[in-house]
Structure formats: structure tokens, C-alpha cells
Amino acid sequence: MSATDVKFRDMEVLVCDDDDAILNIMSHILGEMGFGFVKTTTDPETALRLIREPVEKPFDLVICDWSMPGMSGMEILQKLRDGGNPVPFIMLTAKVSQDAVVEARDTGVDAYIAKPFTAELVQRKVAAIAGRGAPGQS
């Protein structure tokens, strides 16, 4: 995979994690991949609002931490799926048990990235999900 991929240039990604360091790392990795717009937030309520009420076009991909104060990534995902929102959703988490993976899949997560992660792993998972074509793409 090249450092930047033109197919990601027009895609918009939202990353939600309560750890600023993770947000910075993910922004860097996604930028290197060629994503044109990466929005980050540490607040789950803000993430949910941004996904439900996009300013211009819907996000093409959401990457969200499972465990956050106030609202978990699983709760965000459940609310989106219950509302019929099919946005591709990657769960980022330290929960690596088989039960956690099954729970995430049953709720409608598209991919699962376990912490700690490598840039290569993130690139591979993101490319696989983003490459499918997302709701916001024309």
C-alpha cells in the first residue's frame, strides 16, 4: 500500500477516543493514508451528534474507542444501527476477549482494532473497510 492513496482523498473520517494521544496517532496514520478530512473528538456525545447531523456530507467511516466515560463506543454504535445508520464503524479497544469480539460483531461493527496497535494494522483494517465504498461516497 502506498503512503497516500488517492481513493481516500475525498473521504471523511471521524475518530472518537477519550485519549488525545490515540487521536493524534490515528490522525497521523489516516493522513499518511491520504484521507482528505479527519475529524477527532474526545466526547462521545459530540461524536454521535456529528454522525447524526453532518454539516456537509455524511462521514464515510467512524473509528471509535469502546470504553469512554459518559457513553461507550458500543452505545454509540447501537444508537446508530437502531436509527438505521449504516456508516462503516471500526471499534478501537483493549477488550480482546472472544466474547467482546462477538458482542461487537453482533452489534454491527465492521472491524475491530485491538490496542496496542501498529500503524500497519490500522492501515490494513481501514483500507479494507473504506475500500468497500461508504454511504457518503458519490
Q: Does residue 136 lie in a domain region? A: no
Indicate the number of domains in the chain: 1
Domain of 50 in residue numbering reads as 6-130
pLDDT in tens, 52-104: 988 788 999 999 999 999 999 999 999 999 999 999 999 998 877 788 878 88
Whether pTM exceeds 0.85: yes
Q: Does residue 138 lie in a domain region? A: no
Query: What are 29's three cell numbers?
Result: 496514520
Whole-number Cα distances in Å, 38 to 9, 57, 102: 11, 13, 28
- CATH number for 26: 3.40.50.2300
Q: Does residue 33 lie in a domain region? A: yes
Burial of 112 (0-12, 13-18, 19+ CB in 10 A): middle
